[in-house]
Amino acid sequence: MPRPTARVLALLELLQSGGVRTVAELADRLGVDERTVRRYVDHLLDLDVPVESVRGRYGGYRLRAGYRLPPLMLTDDEALAVLLGLVAGRETGLTAATEAAGGTAGETAAAKIRRVLPERLRQRLDAVLDTLTRTAAPGHRAALVPDAQVLLTVADAVRGHRPLAVRYTAADGRRSERTLHPYGLVAHEGRWYVTGVDPAVGEDRTLRLDRIAGTRALPGAFEPPAAVDPAERVLHGLATAPYRYRVVLRVRETAERIHLRLPASVAVVQELAAAEPEAVPWSRVELRADRLDWLPPVLASLDAPFAIEQPPELRTLVAAFAERLAESAARVPDRPLPGGLRTWPRRRRPPRRRPSASG
């Protein structure tokens, strides 16, 4: 059952729709009795909301003509948290139970919040929603939330095609100041990324927003590259990051099925031409890793022929994994133990019969 505060706000929402609402109608819509409706009206009056009482046969309550709620006084951080929470609920299906005709409750709530935000903040939040690309794979890592001002500034620059000055801390702790021409904002598995061109070297860069200590827009504008998928660029950058080992494989399987075990953020997969039209193609798989011990079981789970091009260490690990599997397959388990016992109970031998004196 909703709390009284929620019902008071629901009453305000009903009155804001215009016209005179009878006490009986309000009681029915709120699921309370008429006496409680009058008490809720008193709460609104205590909050300086001008609710007027209309007497007569068709009387009831209405808001004073011309009254509008003041702009919603949220900080940038608070407004960003509310809107992104609604977006995340819609994308992950958490608000599926509140779907209604013509849209979801999350969408209508977001529209109401945007309607009462100050113009400056509404435009900046629209920049985040307009430029954000979300990857399809849900993440399981703890989210690293970037600084709200950094996120808003980056989103403005992406939408306006304006260069950015960025103070950045790399994964190894090195700090740098650089200029970026950002063309994409991407959220992936609890991380936020901006992808763009570094004009100093003319190459693409992908930066994590939680590692950006500060940023500011620079004068001028740039032309973003045509037909670029920011999410694909970020996933490719993650898959080709410079880790200790460079792994190259040939797998006789389609790229789609390989990506079920090795997602696009881990491996770059390229299908090769099949010898026969109906044959399953071979695919070239390349990935980077700091460790190799997790790869043998993943390769086994593909259930497809594969060949290792490099590194040689992976061949040794796969052979050892295959040997352990073969040993386990040949092992015959002991008989199941009785419930609760860790070892088989010893058999009690019958007592030895002593020879009789007459024997």
Q: Of 306, 299, 304, which Cα lies nearest the Cα of 261?
A: 299
Mean pLDDT comparison of 79-93, 103-117, 157-171, 274-288, highest-scoring range: 157-171
Distance from CA of residue 151 to its chain's centroid?
Answer: 16
Q: Give dist(CA 353, CA 351) in Å, integer.
A: 6
Q: If pLDDT is split at 50, 70 and 90, which confidence band does 131 have?
A: confident
Average pLDDT, the chain: 82
Q: Give dist(CA 148, CA 81) in Å, integer.
A: 9
Distance from CA of residue 13 to its chain's centroid?
Answer: 32
Task: Say if residue 104 is exposed, middle or buried (CB neighbours under 10 Å; 0-12, 13-18, 19+).
Answer: middle
Q: Please report the pLDDT score of residue 1 as a whole number.
A: 36
Dump pLDDT digits (tens) for 304-353.
999 999 999 999 999 999 999 998 888 877 656 555 555 545 545 445 44
Mean pLDDT comparison of 93-102, 117-126, 157-166, 228-237, highest-scoring range: 157-166
Helix axes 312-330, 295-302, angle to 10 degrees: 70
Considering the chain, what percentage of its residues have pLDDT values greater than 90? 38
User: 250 forms bridges with which residues in the sheet?
Assistant: 284, 307
User: What DSSP state is assigned to residue 21?
Assistant: B
pTM (two decimals): 0.58
Please name the residues in contact with 192: beta carbons below 8 A apart, sequence gap of 6 or more. 144, 145, 146, 151, 185, 186, 208, 209, 210
Please name the residues in contact with 355: beta carbons below 8 A apart, sequence gap of 6 or more. none
Q: If pLDDT is split at 50, 70 and 90, which confidence band does 252 have?
A: very high
Q: Give dist(CA 149, CA 73) in Å, integer.
A: 17
Considering the chain, what percentage of its residues have pLDDT values greater than 70? 80
Q: Please report the pLDDT score of residue 358 as a whole number.
A: 40
Q: Please report the pLDDT score of residue 90 as a whole number.
A: 62
Q: If pLDDT is split at 50, 70 and 90, which confidence band does 355 have?
A: very low
User: What DSSP state is assigned to residue 274?
Assistant: P
Q: Give dist(CA 186, CA 233) in Å, integer.
A: 10
Residue carrying the six token digits 């969408």 = 107
For residue 100, pLDDT over 80 is answered with no
Which of 336 and 39 is assigned the larger pLDDT?
Answer: 39
Task: Say if residue 208 is exposed, middle or buried (CB neighbours under 10 Å; 0-12, 13-18, 19+).
Answer: middle
Q: Please report the pLDDT score of residue 339 as a whole number.
A: 58
Mean pLDDT comparison of 15-29, 35-49, 69-83, 315-329, highest-scoring range: 315-329
pLDDT (mean) for 108-115: 73
Q: Of 129, 127, 214, 131, which Cα lies nearest the Cα of 169?
A: 214
Please name the residues in contact with 218: beta carbons below 8 A apart, sequence gap of 6 or more. 162, 163, 164, 165, 179
Q: Which of 106-120, 166-180, 237-251 has the lowest mean pLDDT?
A: 106-120
Dump pLDDT digits (tens) for 132-161.
776 655 445 556 668 888 988 999 999 999
Q: Give dist(CA 201, CA 70) in Å, integer.
A: 49
